[in-house]
Amino acid sequence: MPLIRKGLAAASMLGAGLLAAPSIGLSLDMPSVSVGAGMRTSFTSTSFSGSSEDINDFALNSARIYLSGKVTDNLSFMFNTEYNGDSVDVIDAAAQFHFSDQFNIWAGRFLPPSDRANLYGPYYASNWGVYQDGVQDGYPFITTGRDDGVAYWGQFGVAKLSFGIFDIPSTQGSKDVLYAGRAQFDLWDPEAGYYLNGTYYGEKDLLALGLAAQAVGSDKAYTADLLLEKKLGNGGVVTLEAEYAKYDGLGGYTGNKSDGYYGLVGYLFPMPVGPGKFQLLGKYGTTTYKFDDGEGGTTSVDHDTLELNLNYLIKAFNARVSLFYIDKSFTGPATDSKQIGLGLQIQM
């Protein structure tokens, strides 16, 4: 028993010494990591011209996992996935070098310099039915608006400039690459960072003008976009968004050339109703697709889209419900459709 007591005392003294001593060679400088997730799900009822039956669908429109972390003071990493109903895709996997507001380098897979709509994506758009008008985000991409490459971006007062070189499916394995650039001018409040929003729900008074272009050889695409958002004296928020896009042999939704525009207006009511606020929103877009007819000429198809939303904002982009109506009409062989639906978006 004395031997056991002496052993216990020695172990106790050793443990106390270890606790009191500085940790040498045992501490790990672990980088900080942020984990998040997002989901968009909806119920829709769609009618098509010439059909007597509506199509009713429940859908998981999108599910994402977000990972990001800081490796050093000047180096970060992001890794994001997207489930689109068929598979889980890697949409972002990029090293982010930050040396100053004026000098940042990203490398890997991410959103290239392009139109605002591509740089905010469905989770940070004002309206529910993004990318259905033939105008937004018609630039070519590998997955979900993303391409593999490297880009520079910097903030110079009111101006944000970016330029990059990328692979897309049509250039992989060839000597051709895609060149992409964007210039944005924030005339009121600035927008920090590279990725953008379609709205700030009154957190900023914003007047932003953007110009973007991409090119592969002689094929080119151009966009110009505008976002104006103002918080009024009564606490309500007015949002105006517009874009013009011309796809000249590069990108577009159908055909080999197209051009079009859209305009969006929204009003966020100031008074809360329960845990959230209501927003009314309307959007109209029109675009013209041009096809080679195989006989040396071209043929055209017009595409018009009207969207109406009643949005209930519980926690901005992290919890919102949208009652939406989308009307698509075409001149030509495409089928007109009308859709009404209810969508839910959750993020954390």
Check if the beta carbon of residue 67 is closer than 8 Å to that of residue 35. yes
Q: What is the pLDDT of residues 194-219, one digit of tens each?
A: 999 999 999 999 999 999 999 998 89
Supply φ then ψ for residue 15, to 5 degrees: -65, -40
Cα separation values, 14 from 8, 230, 339, Å: 10, 65, 73
Predicted confidence at residue 292, as pLDDT, reads: 73
Query: pTM for the full model?
Result: 0.87
Specify the range with the lowest mean pLDDT, choosing from 224-228, 287-291, 309-313. 287-291
Q: Give residue 299's pLDDT.
A: 82
Domains of the chain: 34-347 (2.40.160.10)
Q: Give the separation between CA 96 and CA 335, rounded to whole angstroms.
A: 44
Is the Cβ–Cβ distance between 285 and 133 less than 8 Å? yes
Is 311 within 8 Å of 282 (Cβ atoms)?
no
Of 24-28, 57-61, 81-85, 135-139, the one with minimum mean pLDDT is 24-28
Amino acid at 225: D
Per-residue pLDDT tens over the stretch 275-306: 999 999 999 999 998 877 667 677 888 999 99
Lowest mean pLDDT among 19-28, 58-67, 128-137, 306-315: 19-28
Residue 267 has pLDDT above 80, yes or no: yes
pLDDT of 38 over the 50 cut: yes
Averaged over 17-39, what is the pLDDT? 64
Please give the angle made by the CA atoms of 203, 82 and 172, to the nearest 5 degrees.
Answer: 110
14 or 125, which is more confident? 125
Report the alpha-carbon angle 177-153-99, nearest 5.
125
Band (14; pLDDT cuts 50, 70, 90): very low
pLDDT band of 30, cuts 50, 70, 90: low
Mean pLDDT of 35-48: 97
Alpha helices in the chain (DSSP H): 2-20, 116-120
pLDDT at 10 > cutoff 80? no
Report residue 9 as tokens. Answer: 């005392």
**pLDDT score of 28:** 53
User: If pLDDT is split at 50, 70 and 90, which confidence band does 53 have?
Assistant: confident
Tell me: pLDDT of 114 over 50. Answer: yes
pLDDT at 255: 62
What would the mean pLDDT of 177-188 be, rounded to a whole number? 97
pLDDT at position 151: 98
Q: pLDDT-derived band of residue 87, with 50, 70 and 90 as boundaries?
A: confident
pLDDT at 251: 82
In this structure, of 8-22, 85-99, 174-188, 297-311, the range with the lowest mean pLDDT score is: 8-22
